[in-house]
Amino acid sequence: MADPFRVLVTGDNLAPAAVNVLSEIGADVVLMRDAVTPERLTHEMATAPTQAILMRGNPVFSSAVIASNPHLRVIAKHGAGVDGVDIDAATKQRVLVMVAGDANAPAVAEHTIALILALGRDVVSLNARTHSGAWDRATYRGREIRGRTLGLVGFGRIARHVARTAAALGMNVVALGRSKGRVDPALAREAADLAELLTVSDIVSLHAPLTDATRGMIDAARLNAMKSGAILINTARGALVDEDALCTALKSGHLAGAGLDTLAQEPPAKDRPILQAPNLIVTPHIAAQTGASITRTGVEAARNIAAVLMRRDIDRANVVNPAALDPP
């Protein structure tokens, strides 16, 4: 009898439904507790042949880590972002890197809309003032979301969900995809470039992957190019934004607010300046953390692994590096 597959999970838990998917193919599921470092990954994969990684969080899979395991066939992300993986190294070793499709997109989109509404209607600041004894009904004048322009930087699965909901709220939606022609005209108008999107948008929401090209893309110059009184939302990757520049833009009043579910450093140091900025809502990278989303995402990641290990049909839409599928 052949040895069972070994699936290493870079986290301390996995939804039972996802574990069942892997158990059905006879896989041993190994959970990793505590910090997951490259050294620990290399050591753990050296203890026994490991055919698959179910990647929770965003640990670093460097070229050295990938090369240290000749048995590895697939790295399946429990979500969408794979910026911690050296994609070129994985492709060279013919290791598929896969994401969990649309599984967590509805949850992240809902959280994006929640941040837009909370900031757009000053929910957090009014709540704090009311609890402190103020009653601003006679003087407060808010702005409706309806009729405002939402700019989506990136137009993948999450952004498309956001676009549909924003349109239902009466917003005008413009978007910028990774390349021309990727924006569905039924959902949004395609911006000519990032400069145009920033200029016309009342609210800018980031949905781009973190790459060398996008790291720090929302810098001081681009923040200054945004409308006075605009709002910035980031439920993608913290490092897309220059946090010091954002802090300045919020303190000066150039931006009316910002909603961040991700930060460049997670968890942040308590004295990190961005946390002291006014009109800022920060949540602890939980946009995808609903019970239903966690189960859907775990099951999709497990199915990706099962398809690769059992040589079943692979959902190519979930494959980040399709070149790894090409004949050697």
- Residues marked active site are found at 237, 266, 285
Altogether, the residues listed in the chain come to a count of: 328
Question: Do 194 and 153 contact (CB within 8 A), yes or no?
Answer: yes
Count CA atoms closer than 13 A to 151's CA, side-chain side.
Answer: 21
What is the spatial distance between Cα 133 and Cα 128, in angstroms, rounded to a whole number?
A: 9
How far is residue 154's CA from residue 109's CA, in Å, rounded to a whole number? 13
Q: Cα–Cα distance between 110 and 288 in angstroms, integer?
A: 9
Distance CA 119, CA 113 (A): 10
Gap between the Cα atoms of 303 and 22, Å rounded: 8
Of 146, 185, 190, 142, the closest CA to residue 168 belongs to: 146
Q: Hey, what are 69's tokens? A: 């395991």
What span, in angstroms and rounded, lies between the C-alpha atoms of 205 and 234? 6
Q: Report how far apart, in Å, the C-alpha atoms of 71 and of each of 6, 97, 297 are.
A: 10, 14, 25
**Coil, strand, or helix at residue 259?**
strand
Q: Determine the number of helices (DSSP H) and then strands (DSSP E) in the chain.
A: 11, 12
Q: At how many degrees (to 10) do helices 291-309 and 16-23 cross?
A: 10
SS3 content of the chain, % helix, strand, coil (to 5): 35, 15, 45
Counting Cα atoms < 13 Å in the Cβ hemisphere of 213 gives 3
Cα–Cα nearest to 288, from 195, 207, 182, 178: 207
